[in-house]
Amino acid sequence: MALNEPVAESDLIWLHPSVPMFQMLALFGCVHGTWHEFSTYQDDDEFGICIKRLDASAMHVEELSPIYRYRSAHELPTGVISDASYRQNDRRNIASIHLRVNGKAIELSSGEIYECQDGSFEIKMMDESVLVQIDGRSPNAT
C-alpha cells in the first residue's frame, strides 16, 4: 500500500527512509501448506490484527485502486516459525503479532501511515492497515 494518495500515479510513494516499516493492506503467507491472510478488523474507532485461513482455490487478484499493488515480499524471511506471540491493547484488540523466523523478529501491527502537508509522515497505531517490521526496522532496511 502506498504511503500517499497523489493526483498522478507516477507520484506514488511506496517507501520512505523516515518510515520504519512497510504498510500493507494485507499480508498472505503459507503455513504448513495452508494459506493465511494477515489483515485487520474494525472494532468501533480502532482496528486490530487478525489471521484468516484461506481456501487457495478461492484466492484471486481483484482490481485495486492505484495506491495498492500485489507483489511478493521477498524482504521477509521464510522458514520455520520458531516463536509466535501477540499483544492486546486495553480493549483486548490484537495490536501486534510477533513471529521469529530464521532468527529474524517479524512484527505485524495494525496502524496507518499518513502523509502530512509538509511531506513528512505520521504513524497512527490501531488503524486499518498492516504495518510490518523486521528486527524493529523497515523490511527494505534489513
Q: What grid cell was written down for 106?
A: 517479524
Query: What is the average pLDDT score of the chain?
Result: 90
Angstrom distance (rounded) from CA 19 to CA 119: 12
Give CA–CA dist 108/81, Å, rounded: 14
Q: How far apart are CA 133 and CA 105, in angstroms?
A: 8
In a domain, 24, yes or no: yes
Q: How many domains does the chain have?
A: 1
Nearest alpha carbon to residue 48 among 1, 99, 114, 96: 96
Residue 68: the pLDDT is 84
What does the pLDDT read at residue 86?
97
Q: Is the pLDDT of residue 56 over 70?
A: no
Domain annotation covers residue 113: yes
Structure confidence at residue 60 (pLDDT): 63
Q: What's the pLDDT at 32? A: 83
Q: How far apart are CA 48 and CA 111, in angstroms?
A: 9
Residue 141 φ then ψ, to 5°: -95, -5
- Please compute the mean of the pLDDT values over residues 64-79 and round it to a whole number: 86
pLDDT value for 122: 96
**pLDDT on residue 69:** 83
- pLDDT at residue 142 greater than cutoff 60: no
Retrieve residue 22's grid coordinates. Answer: 512497510
- Residue 92's pLDDT band, with cuts at 50, 70 and 90, is very high
What residues are paired with 29 via a beta bridge? Answer: 36
Q: Decide if 60 is inside a domain.
A: yes
3-class DSSP state for residue 44? coil
pLDDT for 57 equals 66
Judge whether 4 lies within some domain: no
Q: Would 2 be classed as within a structural domain?
A: no
The end-to-end CA distance of the chain, in Å, is: 19
Mean pLDDT value of segment 94-106: 96
Range of the domain at 62: 9-141
